[in-house]
Structure 1
Amino acid sequence: MTEYNDKQLEILQAAEKLFAEDGFDGASIRHIARDANVNIAMISYYFGSKEKLLEALIIQRTSGMKMQLENISREDLSPTEKVDRLIDLYISRINKNKCMYQIMHFELSTKKRILNMESFMDMKKENSAIFNKIIVDGQEKGFFRKDINNALITTTILGTLTHFHTNRFYFEKTLGLDTEEAYEAYIANELTLHIKQTIKALLAHEN
């Protein structure tokens, strides 16, 4: 992970806020410079272009996951307990950086512009490999069934959470989540429990 100085971090923060509010196309370098209290030349010097700024932001926000995954994998826990911890980690990180994940998934899914995402993809592969190792360890020890598609476990976790966020207005109305605190509490409790139950049901041996 690249170490950024305070000024670079301020630029990245300003960019994230404006990308989330106005979209990539709507957010101008001029406005990012204004909000970060720097001149346009400084953004160009540090990041080169708006596309490079977005790439740097995605890497900066999604890095650090590998170390946390490795820590969980080394803990003296059963494979089932490790899966619980992994789900907690994924949900907390996405919630903490939900603006960034919204921007990232939009850009990657629409392919409107060419982004050099090799570093992000490499990081994602390494993280997936650690998660998969934990699942395989559980399979070898007899905790989990073997006839499952391990690669789709994280997709199930992230897909459920992403769908909930994408349809926030609907769930707020139908579940009576009328404050930000109530919405966040529902994710931390009911939704997290539902995801854990779903994943455990996928992994469990059939009776």
Structure 2
Amino acid sequence: MTTDFNDKQMRILQVAEQLFAEKGFDGTSIRNIAREAKINIAMVSYYFGSKEKMLEALIISRISDLKIQLENLIREPLTPIEKVDRLIELYIARMHKNRCIYQIVHFELSNKKREVNLKSFTDVKRKNFEFLREIINEGQEKGVFRKDVNIYLIPPTILGTYFHFRMNRPLYEELLGLDTDESFENYIKNDLCKHIKQTIKALLTNENQ
């Protein structure tokens, strides 16, 4: 599927993402999307054909630049630990920006009640593991990281911590005294990000470091 979308297509995808997040995939129709985007329903169908194809296109539009960012990170003159820190920052920034589509996609992946081709999404995840493995291998060669690291559990540790915190927002607002949107988002950007970095580095580094 192409990653080159024109202005009308991007407008449709933006509206679709918003409605999918608000009403759910099943609760949103092509007609709803066309009306909200102020675009003829026939044109929406012409561009995407179905909601399933629209979801596939939405995923493509959100992940198309991730590979480039990871490649740039690998090439930067940083230590393995610094690269891990930057990788975590990148993950959290992208999850924050695209949290609606992440929630939609993970629901579809676990639900399996319809045929949605999510190969592009899983391909990116597979590529993420390759980049992560390269960073971990570098750290292991330099004696910084443990030899028994389970690479496949690192991304779910990052994502799981982030989404647990966000999905339980009322509880953490009360516990941490986060009484404004700004204070909640700042806590994620600073304190939660720091906690995740400490957790991942504790899993990666040798005990005598």
- In the superposition, the TM-score normalised over structure 1's length comes to 0.96
1:111-130 CA-partner distances (Å, limit 9, x unpaired): 22121111221122112211
RMSD across aligned positions (CA): 1.1
Aligned residue in 1 for 2:31:
30
Secondary structure of 1:91 counterpart? helix
1:67-100 CA-partner distances (Å, limit 9, x unpaired): 1111111000100000000000000010011111
Structure 2: gaps spanning 5 or more residues: none
* 1:198 positional shift: 0.4
1:90 pairs with 2:95: no
Structure 1: gaps spanning 5 or more residues: none
Aligned residue in 1 for 2:8:
7
- Could you list the runs of 4 or more consecutive aligned residues of structure 1 that deviate by over 2 angstroms after TM superposition? none
Secondary structure of 2:47 counterpart? helix
User: 2: distance between equivalents of 1:122 and 1:99?
Assistant: 20
Kept in 2: contact 1:73–1:134 (CA 8 A): yes
Alignment of 1:77-156 (within 5 A): 77-156=78-157
1:140-163 CA-partner distances (Å, limit 9, x unpaired): 111101112111111111111111
Secondary structure of 1:45 counterpart? helix
1:157 pairs with 2:183: no
Secondary structure of 2:3 counterpart? coil
Aligned residue in 1 for 2:187:
186
Amino acid at match of 1:131: L
- In the superposition, the TM-score normalised over structure 2's length comes to 0.95
* 1:63 positional shift: 2.3
Amino acid at match of 1:116: N
Kept in 2: contact 1:79–1:137 (CA 8 A): yes
Kept in 2: contact 1:132–1:151 (CA 8 A): no
Alignment of 1:11-22 (within 5 A): 11-22=12-23
Aligned residue in 2 for 1:197:
198
Identify the range of structure 1 (3-12 vs 53-62) with the bigger mean alpha-carbon deviation: 53-62
Aligned residue in 2 for 1:55:
56
Amino acid at match of 1:43: V
Kept in 2: contact 1:19–1:27 (CA 8 A): yes
Amino acid at match of 1:114: E
Q: Between the two proteins, what is the percent identity of the paired residues?
A: 64
User: 2: distance between equivalents of 1:146 and 1:41?
Assistant: 56
User: 2: distance between equivalents of 1:102 and 1:117?
Assistant: 14
User: 2: distance between equivalents of 1:196 and 1:32?
Assistant: 39
> How many aligned residue pairs are there?
207
User: 2: distance between equivalents of 1:132 and 1:187?
Assistant: 26
Secondary structure of 2:13 counterpart? helix
User: 2: distance between equivalents of 1:99 and 1:16?
Assistant: 7
Kept in 2: contact 1:33–1:39 (CA 8 A): yes
User: 1: distance between equivalents of 2:13 and 2:48?
Assistant: 10
